[in-house]
Amino acid sequence: MADPRIEVTFVGPIATITVSRPEKLNAFDLDMLKELSAACDAVEANGEIRVAILTGAGKAFSAGGDINAWAAMTPNEFGHAWVRFGHRVFERLATLRVPLIAALNGHALGGGLELAAAADIRIAETQIKLGLPETGLGMVPGWSGTQRLVRRFGAQVVRRMALGGEIFSANEGQALGLVDHVVETGAAVAAAQAYAERIAKRGPAAVEVAKLMIASANGEDNGTAIEALGSILVAKTADLKEGVSAFAEKREPVFKGEW
Q: What is the mean pLDDT of the chain?
A: 91
What's residue 80's pLDDT?
86
Nearest to 91 by CA among 65, 115, 112: 115
CA distance 60 to 82: 22
Tens digit of pLDDT for each residue in 30-49?
999 999 999 999 999 999 99
Q: What is the pLDDT of residues 61-74, one digit of tens each?
A: 999 888 888 888 78
pLDDT band for 222, please (50, 70, 90 cuts): low
Query: Using one digit for the tens of pLDDT, what is the confidence trace for 169-187?
Result: 999 999 999 999 999 999 9
Q: How many CB atoms lie within 10 A of CB 225?
A: 20
6-200 CATH choice from 3.40.640.10, 3.30.70.141, 3.40.50.11540, 3.90.226.10: 3.90.226.10
d(CA 141, CA 136): 11
pLDDT of residue 22: 95
What residues are paired with 183 via a beta bridge?
Answer: 125
Q: Where are the domains of the chain?
A: 6-200, 204-249
Tell me if 143 sits within 8 A of 162, measured CB to CB: no
CA distance 204 to 228: 15
* Length of the chain as a residue count: 259
User: How many H-runs (helices) and E-runs (strands) does the chain carry?
Assistant: 12, 9
Q: Rounded to an integer, what distance in angstroms lies between the CA atom of residue 240 and that of residue 246?
A: 10
Average pLDDT over residues 71-87: 84
Nearest 5 degrees, angle CA 58-CA 59-CA 61? 90
Confidence of residue 247 (pLDDT cuts 50, 70, 90): confident
Q: Report helix, strand or coil for 170.
A: helix
- Residue 228: is its pLDDT beyond 80? no
CA pair distance 156, 81, nearest whole angstrom = 30
Catalytic residues: 114, 134
Element (H, E) at 15: strand 14-19
121-139 pLDDT, tens per residue? 999 999 999 999 999 988 8
